[in-house]
Amino acid sequence: MSDLIYIAESHQYHHDGKLWPHVTQVLRGLGLDGMEGVPKYNLEAGAIRGKAVHLACKFIDENKKFAWPNADAERMFGGYVETYRQFKADFDYEPIATEERVHDHTYCYAGTLDMRGTVWWKRLSDAILRLIRADNAERIPVVGDRKTGVPQRSTALQLAAYARCVEVKLRMEVNLNEDGSYVRERDVTFYTSPLDEKIFLSALAVFNWKNGGGNG
């Protein structure tokens, strides 16, 4: 978005000359991201894996040619991307944006959303369709997060923050597997609770208070 400036080196988001907190920063700053106590080596390895897999998925979503730079990279990361391909086919997922910078003008926070697109309504259960009140719509808007590591409860809060920015009701977490396997009931989790947004906004208020009363 044109009025949001992202500085990659420091992972900072600026809006109209003000530094805004980002979603991951808020959750991590309050110990809500489940990463406390994780060895630094594991965090670094996860970051490398996530960056490689997300880049490959971005190429796939943008219909660009993609090839692994070498056999070792394909051996280490290829399975995760294969899981993503199977997910896309299963839900007839059509991407709208990937690695999208988003922000909320009301609560003054920002972040980078993994995936935003639509899924075919017949791939969703009646219970989910009722919860998001999707009537007579063949394609359902969704925001999502690709996970190459251990799932975290905080993903529900993270996605609620992003969903608020783009005004989408349905959120999904897609777990990508090293061996390339895919089982919908195991690897795709939907989040629909309105409490998730309220919890994130409460966390944001506490984070801003701890860091000087807010950046907005």
Give per-residue pLDDT as tens, 61-108: 999 988 899 999 999 999 999 999 999 999 999 999 999 999 999 999
Neighbours of 109 (CB within 10 A): 27
- Residue 141 near residue 165, CB atoms below 8 Å: no
Give me the residue label for tokens 């670094």: 44
Reported as a pLDDT band with limits 50, 70 and 90, residue 21 is very high
Torsion (CA) 111, 51, 90, 185 in degrees, nearest 10? -80
> How many angstroms separate the CA atoms of 210 and 50, rounded?
30
Q: Residue 1 pLDDT > 50, yes or no?
A: no
DSSP symbols for 105-120 = TTTTEEEEEEEEEEEE
pLDDT tens figures, 69-78: 999 999 999 9
What letters, b where the CB count within 10 A reaches 16 and e where it falls short, cover 181-203? Answer: ebeeeebbbbbbeeebbebbbeb
Sign (positive/negative) of CA torsion 116, 122, 123, 126? positive
Q: Residue 216 pLDDT > 50, yes or no?
A: no
Mean pLDDT score across all residues of the chain: 90
pLDDT tens figures, 27-55: 999 988 766 655 666 767 788 898 999 99
* Start-to-end CA span in the chain (Å): 18
Distance of CA 210 to the CA centre of its chain: 25
> How many angstroms separate the CA atoms of 41 and 100, rounded?
28
| pLDDT of res. 185 | 93
204 closest CA partner among 69, 88, 32, 71: 32
